[in-house]
């Protein structure tokens, strides 16, 4: 028999807060975390806006040595992990270390450290490059650090599927617990790469919004006047646990993970399949894996990047799969408020989805002002909604460069 898997701990850090309740309340209020980024402006970047974490003090969560030899993305990961374990009221060292795992998603890895050390190399020569450069920047290092810090001896793996990475990580962690290989997994991901170099690269692909003069209105998923996404940073970690273990220790259960679907478009390096074929199949496979029907789904937390192509294709895929039921679904994009966290997006947006199920209220898509005839579903424009009867089943979509399509199904534990 397949074992049941539940979420018992949440740790999240974004511009909107370093506490799950503050984060979610800010989403419900439709607060934007997008603003001017001074170092982008000083570097002369054509895009000078983003969503950066404010007032993050690494020493609140990490030891001095850890801060010194960890890139900012790893600092976010370790801080979110500590918050998640505190939230779960769990001393992980009391568990069998071989029955616990770490599964994280990574997009860019420690690119801040890479850029810093490469600049030092160009300016001062090879002898000035830090001996910690490689462990600072390699994408798997966050998983390794979590394993080291908490004595976890099960698999400590990193998945890199671009913007789907942390959702894939949660999905793979879910499978390991469901199938009996592990009892608990720390999973999710983080990202911190709002640098002039990375921003310039994305901007030259025409992927970013250039609304520099009105940053809080720049991320506008599904709106007709959308012109690209906004880069953000932060992270999210979940404690996934086998149900009976969670019940036996009296854990708070936020939601149940019930289905997972993932595939590849095999179409284009950066563009989605024009008919949304892979996205449609990933949603269908996840719902089938959950043993549910299409009409059981109440809500979709969309990938919703605010790019012209993604939002149109994601809407098309939802309509192809759900038919008339698509128009009864509630849909929203967390990216409208915190921007796009790339490899960390799936984890942070999963937290928004899970808290929606737990609290029975759905956050809006802000900046939805001008309807797009090709995006004609209910995107919860601008104001949060509290559905009668709560929220029972939610999909979380994530799509990444390379054609990666990933979907998770979360369910209200009491439904």
Residues contacting 47, CB < 8 A, separation 6+: 40, 199, 202, 203, 208, 209, 210, 212
Q: Are 321 and 283 in contact (CB under 8 A)?
A: yes
Report CA-CA distances (Å) from 320 to 97, 215, 381, 393, 397. 44, 33, 22, 19, 15
Paired tokens of 364 = 């809006």
Compute the distance between CA of residue 96 and CA of residue 76 in angstroms, rounded to an integer: 26
Q: Residues near 17 by Cβ (< 8 Å), separated by ≥ 6?
A: 23, 26
Tell me how far the alpha carbon of residue 335 is from its chain's centroid: 10
Cross-strand bridge partners of residue 238: 10, 187
Pull the structure tokens for residue 80. Answer: 């979110």
Vertex 283: Cα angle to 106 and 365 (nearest 5): 75
Residue 160 near residue 406, CB atoms below 8 Å: no
For tokens 């939802």, the residue is 318
Rounded Cα distance, 255 and 267, in Å:
34
Q: What is the spatial distance between Cα 312 and Cα 272, in angstroms, rounded to a whole number?
A: 10
CA of residue 232 relative to chain centroid, distance = 11
Render 66-88 in DSSP notation, one character per residue.
HHHTS-HHHHHHHHHHHHHHHHH
- Inter-CA distances, 54 with 37, 219, 236, 374, Å: 11, 19, 16, 36
Task: Name the E strands within 14-127.
Answer: 35-36, 49-50, 100-105
Can you read off the two tokens belonging to residue 13? 């850090």
| Residues 232 and 14 sit within 8 Å (Cβ to Cβ) | yes
Residues annotated as catalytic are: 163
**Helix, strand, or coil here: 300?**
strand
CA 304 to CA 308: how far, in whole Å? 10
Nearest to 376 by CA among 238, 222, 193: 222
Task: Answer yes or no: are the C-beta atoms of 404 and 172 closer than 8 Å.
Answer: no
């Amino acid at each position: 028999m397949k074992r049941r898997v539940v979420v018992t701990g949440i740790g999240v850090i974004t511009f909107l807060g370093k506490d799950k309740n503050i984060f979610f309340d800010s989403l419900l209020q439709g607060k934007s975390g997008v603003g001017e980024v001074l170092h982008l402006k000083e570097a002369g970047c054509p895009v000078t806006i983003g969503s950066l974490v404010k007032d993050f003090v690494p020493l609140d969560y990490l030891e001095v040595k850890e801060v010194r030899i960890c890139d900012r993305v790893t600092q976010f990961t370790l801080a979110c992990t500590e918050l998640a374990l505190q939230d779960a009221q769990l001393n992980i060292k009391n568990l069998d270390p071989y029955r616990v795992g770490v599964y994280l998603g990574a997009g860019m890895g420690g690119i801040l450290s890479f850029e810093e050390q490469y600049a030092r190399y160009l300016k001062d020569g090879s002898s000035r490059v830090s001996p910690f450069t490689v462990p600072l920047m390699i994408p798997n290092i966050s998983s390794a650090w979590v394993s080291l810090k908490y004595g976890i001896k099960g698999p400590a793996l990193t998945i890199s599927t671009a913007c789907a990475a942390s959702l894939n990580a949660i999905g793979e962690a879910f499978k390991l617990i469901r199938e009996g290989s592990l009892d608990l997994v720390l999973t999710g991901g983080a990202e911190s790469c709002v640098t002039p170099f990375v921003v310039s690269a994305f901007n030259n692909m025409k992927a970013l919004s250039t609304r520099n003069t009105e940053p809080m209105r720049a991320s506008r998923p599904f709106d007709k006047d959308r012109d690209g996404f906004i880069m953000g940073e932060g992270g999210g970690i979940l404690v996934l646990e086998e149900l009976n273990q969670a019940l036996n220790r009296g854990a708070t259960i936020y939601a149940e993970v019930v289905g997972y679907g993932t595939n590849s478009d095999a179409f284009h390096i950066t563009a989605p399949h024009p008919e949304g074929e892979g996205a449609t199949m990933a949603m269908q496979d996840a719902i089938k894996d959950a043993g549910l029907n299409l009409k059981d789904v109440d809500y979709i937390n969309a990938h919703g990047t605010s790019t012209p192509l993604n939002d149109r294709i994601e809407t098309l895929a939802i309509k192809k799969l759900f038919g008339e039921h698509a128009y009864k679904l509630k849909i929203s994009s967390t990216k409208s408020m915190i921007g796009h966290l790339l490899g960390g997006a799936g984890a942070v947006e999963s937290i928004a989805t899970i808290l929606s199920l737990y609290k029975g209220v759905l956050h809006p898509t802000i900046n939805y002002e001008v309807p797009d005839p090709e995006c004609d579903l209910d995107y919860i424009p601008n104001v949060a909604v509290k559905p009668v009867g709560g929220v029972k089943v939610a999909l979380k979509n994530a799509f990444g460069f390379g054609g990666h399509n990933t979907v998770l199904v979360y369910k209200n534990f009491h439904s």
